[in-house]
Amino acid sequence: MKWIVLAACAVAVTAVGCTAGDSSPDAGVSNCDRSLPQKLTRDTTLLAKCSPYSVERPLTVDGFTLTIEPGVEVRFFAGAQLEAGVRVPGKVIARGTREKPISLKGSPWNGVALGMGAAGSVLENVSIEDAGSVERPALSIGASDVTLKNVRVVNAKRTALSARVDAPLKTISGLELTGDPAELVHLDVSTAGVFSTGATLPPDAVIWLHGGLTTDVTLTDIATWRVPQTLNVDAPEGKTASLTLKEGVRLELGERAALEFGYTRGPATFRARGTREKPAIITRYGDDPMNTPSNGLRFFGGARAPEIDWLVVEYAGALERPAVFFNGSRGLGRVTNSVFRHMKSGAICIEAAQERFVAFDGNTFEDIEGTVLRAPLELAHNISPKNSFPPASRIEIFGSASRDTTLTNLWMPYFVSGALTANAGLTLERGTTLLFDDAGTLNVSAGKLTARDATFAKAKTGWRGIEIAGTTTVKLENVTIAGVDDWALSMAPTVSGSVKKLNVKGAKKGVRSCAKKVKRDAVTPAWSCE
């Protein structure tokens, strides 16, 4: 009769242990069913007194909760795994203690999979050992409402953790991972911030980032970060999104991958906060990075002005795309103390932006093919001469300016593409040189044109000269105009100001002006009013 009662109890309670009415201290242990079924049919608790348990086939927790007591050890046979919430909601509550951790082990076994329906799951003081395969991570998570505290994933076959969720995990702290360093962690980028502060990894570990970013994330130098495909940073309506790189961060992009900000909505912000000793780095992973570069940094209409200090950008800019590209961003922000190097398609290109640079200072450009900086006239304002450009490098300006603009002497010429138009004050600092292409011209129709010890000349075979109209005031002193195919300088009768020591060289025609309010002195060749 006692045998019949024991059998009935074993059927009624899954993987908990039966006492059959025996009140002796060891009765529960001696009568535990330590072999777990393939699928739970009720809420189940694994008891410490029944440990160790064994799992011969994949154990599925769908529709129920599996609770594991402190000190429990579960041994998995080859090919077995623990999965919860993969098809329908189900969760695992495994709360060990530091004194009595929970151990999930086997060799080889497929690890733990917490699917999209595993919200509310908790792994605390848990060790997952010798798990995973080439295809399966040792621990995979598909729900954001998951807590990982003091979890050790030890000796994973390949990937220790994969968390592909579109929101940050609820809690990550005390996480320790080992496995194949090159494939150790795969994360949705939204989880990267909380992961940065809550995990310990080997020094050569790589964290792969996937998906898009719709929240604020800060990366630290916990490991090397890799982005295989373009990462879009864009905020949902009414919110913000940002990516911040702290000192020492190394972020590696795949071929043609980019960091894109504000392409759809915005606001989206990029910050790089390196230091002299530990700059942040954006580079390219893989073979032959110079010929297979990434697409670098790209800022669109929803992008806020970036904050970049002590950043290295290298092996970026592909298919005639520069390494850093602005097109309609809310501002150019601050770019200081940074290095741009090993680029075949130019360094920085600005098509449009609402606001100018707050600062562009102390930057170094090395091994750049193409233009180091291309910008509309108005956005080339007041660039610091303390930037370091390689010999024979090229800065290109184009378009117009409707705000007062100053071109600083960068100790290298500005190349002008097409017509340059100033509808406000334009000042060339002493020693500044502008070289115009064959279609190039400078038109000033308002404000003031000021140039001293400056040169306007051809870049190729000729250009179309300077034309000053409206009520513009001119102040030209010791200026050279060379290589013009037509009139070197034309001024409307309404122009005022002064022209002193003007030297015209290699122009088909000299100066055309009937402006009586312009004082002139030492102008070569003679002044003509036609």
Which of 7-11, 249-253, 272-276, 519-523 bottoms out in mean pLDDT, i.e. has the lowest? 7-11
Note whether residue 385 is domain-resident: no
The helix/strand/coil state of 6 is helix
Tens-digit pLDDT profile for residues 98-140: 999 999 999 889 999 999 999 999 999 999 999 999 999 999 9
Contact at 8 Å (CB) between 306 and 269? Answer: yes
Note whether residue 472 is domain-resident: yes
φ, ψ of residue 348 in degrees (nearest 5): -125, 130
Contact at 8 Å (CB) between 203 and 226? Answer: no
Note whether residue 239 is domain-resident: no
Note whether residue 466 is domain-resident: yes
φ, ψ of residue 267 in degrees (nearest 5): -75, 145
Pairing state between β 241-246 and 224-227: unpaired
Average pLDDT over residues 75-103: 96
What is the percentage of the chain residues whose pLDDT exceeds 90? 79
CA dist 422 and 145 (Å) reads 57
Note whether residue 430 is domain-resident: yes
User: What is the tally of structural domains in the chain?
Assistant: 1
Average pLDDT over residues 222-246: 95
Note whether residue 285 is domain-resident: no
Return the structure tokens found at 289. 């990075």
Q: Does 1 have pLDDT greater than 60?
A: no
The predicted pLDDT at position 526 comes to: 67
Is this prediction's pTM over 0.75? yes
Tens-digit pLDDT profile for residues 2-25: 333 323 333 333 444 433 333 333
Note whether residue 524 is domain-resident: yes
Tens-digit pLDDT profile for residues 359-399: 999 999 999 998 999 999 999 999 999 999 998 888 999 99
Per the structure, the complete domain to which residue 404 belongs is given by 397-530
Alpha-carbon dihedral 2, 6, 9, 10, rounded to 10 degrees: -170
Q: How many CB atoms lie within 10 A of CB 363?
A: 24
Note whether residue 101 is domain-resident: no
Average pLDDT over residues 311-328: 93
